[in-house]
Chains A and B, each alone.
Chain A
Amino acid sequence: MLKITELTGGYGDKTIVKGVSFEVPKGKMLGILGPNGSGKSTMMKLISGVLPAKSGMVEIEGRAISEFGAKELAKKMAVLPQLHAHAFAHTVRETVSLGRYPHQSGWFASWSHEDEAAVAEALRLMDIQQYEHTPIDQLSGGEQQRVFVAQALAQNAKILLLDEPTNHLDINHQRELLDTIKRQAIEKDLTIISIFHDINLASMYCDQLLLLDKGHVMRIGEPHEVVREQDIERVYQARVSNHPHPELPKPQITLLPGVERPRSASAIRAEDFSISAEMVLYESDVPLKTVSSAVINAGAGWYRTFINRHVDMDYNIDDSLSEMTRFIEERGFKPTDTVGMMTAIKTEHVIIKEFPSSFGSVVIAVTAGVGNAVDVSKAIERPLGVGTINTWILVNGALSDEAFIQAMITATEAKTKALHQEGVKDPLTGTIATGTSTDSCLVAATQQGAILPYAGPITELGGLIGSGVYQCTIEAIALYRKAKMQ
């Protein structure tokens, strides 16, 4: 549909876009990324023809744009500009109606039904009918942006060039606008080229991305080929981290700050845990990166307060989430900054140990109630009661994502081994238990100090976790049994 070959151009003697070639097939959306000054807007001007190219070609359906007349080109290609201030304000309708300019001809240029229908549809799609007779200078930046998108849509062109269409829009309007454009693209088979500032939005909506660096194409391809840490970091000169979109197979990036946060001298120490009748509490000075299967704030996140709360055996677990949130608030903690677990074990039966190592230390805390121990290989055969072995592994070090997962695996294996060693049996099957029905595990790290990329048994960290969890679990089970005996 749109083919660009060795396009070169700029202003005066300055060449800004250098030998850019790419092709956008019909019905596809291409996002253009690049830092400020990389030539994105200049390239758009070259493609739209307002800036004559020094060399190279822009072809629409095999025909060079220089062969098109102004009106003829406007019927093929609509352009969304960046916003400007206006000395005189047209009303919204007048503005959108201008999109029909290339479709009108003759001295009197009568307004046809087709013109009217296109304008009405554009107004409706951008949800601006209610402003129809308002002068545009009275609208907010976001509303004005939608008016200009409507103008471009009213042009009914098969190619849309958008220069930062989501400028001035809040996140909901960004989504709405891009959804609408994408839907139009699919319904009407539009070919779209759009400049984006927001890499994540571009990745989410575009079929293809083009990363521009100093006027050259740095990379072009599907989002996963372009949104890569190394390339983005190099081109934008910013530290970023790549991660998956929660719903779509589109990569997203997160900006990392350039300023180093001041290192905190504080480390996790076993003696800093406080134990009261109602909970085992650890409060960290700095937020810890945490992965857990807790009741409150499970999953990954950064938290400062860690609670293992004692509840009675008859605690109603149906409403545990909101009850636990209330509990946290009443104790003066912030539910958004707290990971909370529950156990029927008395808090005094917690085992907390610190294991020194070459990189720092690992603190492990375990409460083990094995009354409802389960052999997981047979678990599917019968209903389960509630039981809890809660295992916390707090590391003074910087863990990679893999290390978090490996730490979980290692801890689970160590726990199972401890149960085996202690001969804890599944009361229903009579076989050796592997855990209880509702065990929780938590791995947290300061993310400061030594970088620990792995936590499998082969590593020092893995070894510490393995033996530490094993020891703590055995001692915790012993305490539990002793308490049961009395």
Chain B
Amino acid sequence: MSKKVIAYFVSLFLLGGAVVLGVTVGTVSISPVVIWNPASDEGAANILWNIRMPRVVLAGLVGAALAIAGAAFQGLLKNPLADPYTLGVSSGASVGAVMTLFFGISIPFLGIYTLPVMSMLGALVTMLAVMAFAKLVDKAMKMETVILTGIIFSSFLGSLISLMIALTGEELRQIIGWLLGSVSMRGWPFVQMALPFILIGSFILWLNRRELNAMLFGEERAQHLGVDVKKRKMMILVSGSVLTGAAVAVSGTIGFVGLVVPHMVRLVWGSDHRHVLPLSFINGAALLIVCDLVSRTIISPTELPIGVITAFIGAPVFAFIFFRQRKGVA
């Protein structure tokens, strides 16, 4: 059996395990049997399908979206520290979402999709602004320059959000909880809201897997190899923003998933995007499901925001990657 087949097998196994754990473990422990035999315990089945399953699916979708977007941003920018959070794209998406809530924006025809679409726009505008500014500062777009630019934009956008929150008054608590990132109490409508965007965004990224491989050697080299760089770059940026926007719209800002997962995948299975992208998708889903499980059980009955858990894992990984890049490449 080839190494790649094992990779997918292991990843899917982890995801399956995470889902089963996610729906069975909690304040009320539920036997896994209920998953395929709801009749055995109607009450448990109700909790499982109406409360835990949408939560697990949502966590999985958000994790998958952030991870695959992170993998794509890293490949495109040739920057191992890039992810929706460190680039400030998540903050941009948050501004889009908070603005929608704050001004009560509702775009005709979009209905419930107004929120994710506004998030995506926020994400895309931020992404383009961060890239343009970083390029202005440093033509080579060095790793540190890009991340620093992301932090500058994040801080600025964060202040905008704080301002809007301060002006709302009553809904304050709710928005703060959402900002820290959470997938609790969302239910199936949120899954429905994010699912189409996440599937389309991921699919478009997957279509650019070979182009991402080529772009690891630089845009000029990619063009020599026959890649239509302008078009492909735009496709990747837009779908990355779509994924980030969709994820942020339903779960708030959850950091570092897009950093940790692709890094682990590359470490174990190499940096071929044909596999990095799908494997990040699967493992991102599994990781966030587990993180969500930890966040709601670790100090039960109180729930920690899921972003706290991902940052707890992610920040040290970020430090590690930074250290290794600085020591290794020189």
A91 touches B226 (CB 8 A): no
Q: Which residues of A from 44 to 69 have beta carbons under 8 Å from B?
A: 45, 48-50, 69
C-alpha spacing A73/B210, complex, angstroms: 18
| Cβ of A142 under 8 Å from chain B | no
Which of A70, A81, A85, A102 has its CB near the most chain B CB atoms (within 10 A)? A70
Partner of B325, one of A45, A71, A87: A87
B225 touches A101 (CB 8 A): yes
Partner of A85, one of B214, B229, B266, B329: B329
Closest-CB distance, B100 to chain A (whole angstroms):
34
A75-B226, A101-B210 are contacts. A86–B270 as well, Cβ < 8 Å?
no
Chain A residues within 8 Å of B225, by CB: 74, 98-99, 101-102, 151, 155
Chain A 221-239: CB-based contact to B (< 8 A → 1; otherwise 0): 0000000000000000000
C-alpha spacing A359/B327, complex, angstroms: 64
Interface size for chain B: under 10, 10 to 19, 20 to 34, or 35 or more residues?
Answer: 20 to 34
C-alpha spacing A155/B80, complex, angstroms: 28
A50 touches B80 (CB 8 A): no
| Cβ of A482 under 8 Å from chain B | no
Chain A residues within 8 Å of B80, by CB: 87-88
A74 touches B78 (CB 8 A): no
B78 touches A101 (CB 8 A): no
Residue of B nearest to A152 (CB): B224
C-alpha spacing A69/B223, complex, angstroms: 10
A85-B329, A101-B214 are contacts. A90–B271 as well, Cβ < 8 Å?
yes
Residue of B nearest to A90 (CB): B271
Chain B residues within 8 Å of A98, by CB: 210, 213-214, 217, 225
Which of A79, A86, A101, A155 has its CB near the most chain B CB atoms (within 10 A)? A101
Chain B 211-252: CB-based contact to A (< 8 A → 1; otherwise 0): 001101110110111111100000000000000000000000
B226 touches A101 (CB 8 A): yes
C-alpha spacing A71/B270, complex, angstroms: 26
| Cβ of A320 under 8 Å from chain B | no
Q: Which residues of B from 285 to 330 have beta carbons under 8 Å from A?
A: 325, 329
A78 touches B224 (CB 8 A): yes
B271 touches A81 (CB 8 A): no
Which of A74, A85, A109 has its CB near the most chain B CB atoms (within 10 A)? A74
Closest-CB distance, A82 to chain B (whole angstroms):
10
B272 touches A94 (CB 8 A): yes
| Cβ of A107 under 8 Å from chain B | yes
Q: Which residues of A from 366 to 420 have beta carbons under 8 Å from B?
A: none
B78 touches A86 (CB 8 A): yes
C-alpha spacing A79/B217, complex, angstroms: 13
Residues of B within 8 A of A (CB): 74-75, 78-80, 143, 207, 210, 213-214, 216-218, 220-221, 223-229, 266, 270-272, 325, 329
Q: A88-B266, A91-B270 are in contact. List 13 more A-B contacts (CB 8 A).
A: A50-B220, A71-B226, A79-B221, A81-B218, A81-B224, A87-B216, A87-B325, A88-B78, A89-B271, A90-B216, A94-B270, A99-B225, A101-B225
Q: Could you name 5 residue pairs across A and B whose Cβ atoms are closer than 8 Å?
A: A70-B229, A87-B78, A101-B214, A101-B226, A104-B210
**Closest A-B pairs by Cβ, 5 of them:** A74-B226, A102-B226, A79-B224, A88-B271, A71-B226
